[in-house]
With several copies, the nearest count.
Chain A
Amino acid sequence: MRTAIVERPIDACSLLSEVASARNGATVLFVGTVRDINEGSEVSGLDYSAYGAMAEKELASIVAEACERWRTRDIVVEHRVGTLELGESSVVIAVAHPHRGEAYDASRYIIEELKQRLPIWKREHYVDGRAEWVANAR
Chain B
Amino acid sequence: MTIRVLLFASYADALGPHVDVDVPAGARVRDVLARVRALATGKRIPDKPLVAVNQVYAADDQPVTATDEVAIIPPVAGG
Asked whether any CB of A lies within 8 Å of a CB of B in the complex, the reply is yes
Query: Could you list which residues of chain A lie within 8 angstroms of chain B, going by C-beta atoms?
Result: 32, 48-51, 53-55, 57-58, 79, 90-91, 111, 114-123, 133-136, 138
A119-B56 CB under 8 A given contacts A135-B75, A136-B78 = no
Query: Which residues of chain A have C-beta atoms less than 8 A from B77's C-beta?
Result: 48, 120-122, 133-136
Instruction: Report the bound CA distance from A53 to B76 in whole Å.
Output: 15
Of B55, B74, B75, B78, most buried by chain A (CB within 10 Å of CB) is: B78
Contact, CB under 8 Å: A51 / B78: no
Please measure, in the bound complex, the distance between the C-alpha atom of A53 and the C-alpha atom of B78, giving whole angstroms. 15
Residue B79 at the chain A interface, CB threshold 8 Å: yes
Chain B residues near A120: list those with CB within 8 A: 76-78
Given contacts A51-B52, A54-B52, A133-B9, contact A119 B73 (CB under 8 A): yes
Q: Are B76 and A115 closer than 8 Å at their CB atoms?
A: yes
The 7 A-B residue pairs with the shortest CB-CB distance, nearest first, are A135-B75, A118-B78, A120-B78, A121-B9, A122-B77, A54-B55, A115-B79
What are 27 A-B contacts defined by CB distance under 8 Å? A49-B8, A50-B78, A51-B6, A51-B73, A54-B52, A54-B56, A79-B78, A79-B79, A90-B78, A115-B76, A115-B78, A117-B78, A118-B78, A119-B52, A119-B73, A119-B76, A120-B76, A120-B77, A120-B78, A121-B10, A121-B74, A123-B9, A133-B13, A133-B74, A133-B77, A134-B77, A138-B75
**Cβ B55 vs Cβ A136 within 8 A:** no
Closest chain B residue to A112 by CB distance? B79
What A residues does B9 contact at CB under 8 A?
49, 121, 123, 133
* Min CB gap B52→A, angstroms: 6
Q: Indicate which residue in A114, A133, A138 contacts B78 across the interface (CB closer than 8 Å).
A: A114
Which single member of B13, B52, B55, B76 contacts A135 (CB below 8 Å)?
Answer: B76
